[in-house]
Structure 1
Amino acid sequence: MYEIRQNFRGHAMNNLITICSKADVDTWMHCAPLILERIESDRYILIVPDREIPIFKFCTPERFEIIPESRLSSAFHQKLKNSIPSSNSNRFGWYLQQFLKISALIDCSDDEISLIWDADTLPLRSLVFESKERDLLFFRGREEHKPYFDCIKSLLGLEKIVSSSFVAQCFPIRGRWIKDFVAEVEERFGKAWYDALIDVIDFSESSGFSEYETLGTYISHRYPDQFRFVDKPWCRRGYKAIGDISNIDSVIAKLILYRYDYISFEKWDKENQATRMNIPPSAFGINKFLTSLKWGRKNRKRRPQVRGVDEFLRWFFSKDGNKHIVQVGANDGLQSDPLRPYLVSPGEYTATLIEPIPYYVDRLKQLYSNRDDIRIEKCAVGDKIGEMTLYYIPPEIADQMNGEGPENNWAHGQGSFDRSIIDYWIRRNSFRGEEYRRKIDFFISKITSETVPVRCVSDFQVSSGEMLLCVDAQGFEMSVLRGVDWSSPPSFIMFEDDREGDGGVADFLRSKDYSYVCGHHDKVYVWLG
């Protein structure tokens, strides 16, 4: 799942309120634990139909208080139902849940902050809804539905004055604001707020009222200096994006959703698909990575079978837009180089290949002699600029070290600031036959050293496009990572982990808001910040 930092940079909500029914229980079972984990609140309140309480007690984390609808809806339930024409009777539940949200908010104290959160929406990272300046923070929606604003005009006499929509699956509000809203409506109409709403909503419209747009318009007029929109992306069409919420843990989902703060799985989106994951993903139009995968035929939900780093690289290089690759420890550009198949031809990318050993630098320059989009840098990479002693096996000795096989020229890939690492790998390859074992001491004696210049990754980072940082530093990965400019983190980091322990790299990357994507020997992480 998406790994996140547990340090909240804002203030906790007092109440998180959500509404669900058994039609969405599968989605709810995925969302509920992550709501608790990623949205900090004093109380978590779930409102469900009375007869469905046993279902939700079984599948809902204990921290949620489960409240029956009747506790909130007795004053308006039947009148609302009677007001909806038979042609739109299937929309009763949709209208009812909006009235329930307002009713639940009214029960909150004046000084509390409550968050309405749609039950079909899954947070992908930790979220906050109040700034340090105590402004409430709203995500932007793109909806523009005229009947909503016709209703608002009739109810409040107010026009839309903000460019964005408030329909964004979640809505923070202060207790004082909802009380002021209700008081203004009731004074204006001389009746209870719900009666006033029922009078002004055009129920011949399948979607004639939005509690988010109504309350948002009210707040934008009455408290314009106490809220602001945040420009953070979220994904509304979850079924189109990844097929089904059950795919949320997959490599595919992480790659598609890594920029989003949350994702919604609404029924209308599900119904728009031909069937529930029974058509190829290319029909959903998601992206080239999905269409390149093999889909299991035995699994009714057709979960994709991911093939690891090669599949990730194919996806990365097929993405639209500018990309920049920084490869630390490029060697000769051929030897066990996972990037080579993708650097053969120019594309929508530039690359900086970094190698400190002169012999391999010359090989790289020869390999890419006709490429202006690939830059070769002769240096090592660390956490500070300077010089260091690099140990490596001379190429003419490395040529002798395949032994009885495999013929993979492995020794050409050995170079480290720590001589013992070279020693380790020479001994580790003793499986290469008797002749090789007899020459181990000779090979070790031939380890040579050279003083090389050291620069930082920050020297090679770019300000535009997505960046992939590839690191093969023979035990010095942490030193390389400490030289990154973390004010502009690489979108993806791939590092070689070949000694059965990454030296703290995974923990370090998690602390920087990265999440593991795939790979065993070469591991890929994506930045979620």
Structure 2
Amino acid sequence: MKETPLDIVICIGDNHLKIAEKTIACLIKHFEFHRILIISSSSLINVLREKLLTQDNIIFIDEDTLIPEISLSTLEQYFIRHNAQRKRAGWYYQQFLKMQAAYYCQTPHYLIWDADTVPLRTIHFFEEEKVLIHHSKEYHPPYFDTLYRLLGIKKQISPSFITEHMVINTAVMQSLIHTIQEKNREQSWCFTVLDHIEKQHLSHSGFSEYETYGSYVVQQQAKDFILRSDSYSLKTLRHGSRLFSAHPTTIDLNILKALDYDYVTFEVWDQQRPKKIFKNKILSWGFYLSSLLKLKALSAAILKQFQKRIR
């Protein structure tokens, strides 16, 4: 069954500019989409317009125009008033922006995609009109504490909803935001979320849009999605930066695709060992040249050696 193209939402900050260029290029190459909504600061949007291929279905949105009465500055002021780390405001802000995008998307579902995650092939997101949801083994209790304090919902599944992407039911996300807003009509729903995070967790990781939305969907429309497993599973790699730094080349990505990864994440904060990265890049070049020269035995040997380095 041919899938209906989705709106894709991607938030881009200063530290993700370079990898985001690669991510967006690969999204355009591998995915059929209705529009790509790029949410960023006004200053960064000007840079992105120059760097990215501009086309009608790529939309740039100034992040400070997305949520009424909310900007990065207003969130920073909240953190200052609550004696929390001001620099952490941006981490929460990008989550709120991806949620609020539900009011700007034109498709019944939209795809949230992390700026530092590069897709290497086409990925299908539906099976018989049910959403396929990827999951992980991550477990962070403060997310569930906030979820319960905020919505009275307990953790719904044993795996975690936290991954590098998620297909969102647009109407359900709007319903979730409305439910939060109704708890305090005197302020933005974003502040209400922050109010329900325990003080000791506010300066760290006290809320997850993925865990919150995923748990809300299970409660509201459990029959409308399928957790990926077996034939629906994805092969992913989170620590791409440990292999090639946070700035992989097309040749680096080529060897990862040959290892059947669906997507790889390159986090800017991840530990990087220069000597190891240099050796890995030599291997990726070796694989590229051996493939170009159709030296199949050498290509297979390099792949096998590289796979051991990943483990």
The yes-or-no answer on 1:198 pairing with 2:185 is no
Match of 2:276 in 1: 280
Structure 2: distance between partners of 1:267 and 1:47: 19
CA 1:317–1:168 in 2, change beyond 3 Å: closer, same or farther?
closer
Aligned Cα root-mean-square deviation (Å): 2.7
CA 1:163–1:68 in 2, change beyond 3 Å: closer, same or farther?
same
* Matching residue's letter, 2:59: E
Shift of 1:90: 2.2
In 2, are the aligned partners of 1:13 and 1:113 still within 8 Å (CA)? Answer: no
- 1:495-510 superposed matches below 5 A: none
Structure 1: distance between partners of 2:266 and 2:143: 22
The yes-or-no answer on 1:137 pairing with 2:129 is no
The yes-or-no answer on 1:161 pairing with 2:156 is yes
The yes-or-no answer on 1:24 pairing with 2:11 is no
Structure 2 spans left out of the alignment, 5+ residues: none
Shift of 1:239: 0.8
CA 1:242–1:213 in 2, change beyond 3 Å: closer, same or farther?
same
In 2, are the aligned partners of 1:15 and 1:42 still within 8 Å (CA)? Answer: yes
In 1, are the aligned partners of 2:245 and 2:266 still within 8 Å (CA)? Answer: no
1:174 alignment partner, one of 152, 169, 174: 169
In 2, are the aligned partners of 1:76 and 1:195 still within 8 Å (CA)? Answer: no
Structure 2: distance between partners of 1:320 and 1:304: 15
The yes-or-no answer on 1:238 pairing with 2:236 is no
- 1:55-94 superposed matches below 5 A: 55-63=47-55, 64-77=58-71, 78-85=73-80, 88-94=85-91
Shift of 1:61: 2.1
CA 1:116–1:320 in 2, change beyond 3 Å: closer, same or farther?
closer
- 1:172-321 superposed matches below 5 A: 172-191=167-186, 192-202=188-198, 204-230=202-228, 231-250=233-252, 253-254=254-255, 258-269=259-270, 272-274=271-273, 278-281=274-277, 304-306=285-287, 308=290, 309=295, 311-315=298-302
Structure 2: distance between partners of 1:197 and 1:96: 11
The answer to which structure has the higher strand fraction is: 1
**Structure 1 counterpart SS, 2:237:** coil
Q: Give the TM-score of the pair, scaled to structure 1.
A: 0.50
Query: 1:106-130 deviations in whole A, cap 9, x for unaligned?
Result: 3335x62111111111111112222
Query: 1:258-313 deviations in whole A, cap 9, x for unaligned?
Result: 322111111222xx224xxx32349xxxxxxx56x858xxxxxxx75556235434
The yes-or-no answer on 1:105 pairing with 2:97 is no
* Matching residue's letter, 1:66: F
Q: Give the TM-score of the pair, scaled to structure 2.
A: 0.83
Query: 1:419-468 deviations in whole A, cap 9, x for unaligned?
Result: xxxxxxxxxxxxxxxxxxxxxxxxxxxxxxxxxxxxxxxxxxxxxxxxxx
CA 1:128–1:199 in 2, change beyond 3 Å: closer, same or farther?
same
In 2, are the aligned partners of 1:186 and 1:196 still within 8 Å (CA)? Answer: yes
1:152 alignment partner, one of 147, 154, 167: 147
In 1, are the aligned partners of 2:240 and 2:264 still within 8 Å (CA)? Answer: yes
Structure 1 spans left out of the alignment, 5+ residues: 1-8, 283-289, 296-302, 322-529
* Matching residue's letter, 2:214: G
In 1, are the aligned partners of 2:12 and 2:40 still within 8 Å (CA)? Answer: yes
Match of 2:46 in 1: 54
What is the percent sequence identity of the aligned residues? 25
In 1, are the aligned partners of 2:161 and 2:214 still within 8 Å (CA)? Answer: yes
CA 1:239–1:190 in 2, change beyond 3 Å: closer, same or farther?
same
Match of 1:126 in 2: 122
* Matching residue's letter, 1:208: G
In 2, are the aligned partners of 1:10 and 1:129 still within 8 Å (CA)? Answer: no
Between Structure 1 and Structure 2, how many residues are aligned? 290
Structure 1: distance between partners of 2:101 and 2:27: 19
Which structure ranks higher in relative contact order (CA pairs < 8 Å, sequence separation ≥ 6)? 2
Task: Point out the more displaced range, 186-195 or 156-165.
Answer: 186-195
**Structure 1 counterpart SS, 2:123:** coil
Structure 1: distance between partners of 2:53 and 2:282: 35
CA 1:213–1:255 in 2, change beyond 3 Å: closer, same or farther?
closer
Structure 1: distance between partners of 2:307 and 2:108: 45
**Structure 1 counterpart SS, 2:226:** strand
Shift of 1:141: 2.1
CA 1:205–1:96 in 2, change beyond 3 Å: closer, same or farther?
same
In 2, are the aligned partners of 1:15 and 1:113 still within 8 Å (CA)? Answer: yes
The answer to which structure has the higher helix fraction is: 2
CA 1:225–1:248 in 2, change beyond 3 Å: closer, same or farther?
same
Q: Which has the larger radius of gyration?
A: 1
Structure 1: distance between partners of 2:102 and 2:276: 43
CA 1:200–1:55 in 2, change beyond 3 Å: closer, same or farther?
same
**Structure 2 counterpart SS, 1:249:** helix
Shift of 1:101: 1.1
The yes-or-no answer on 1:115 pairing with 2:111 is yes
**Structure 1 counterpart SS, 2:168:** strand
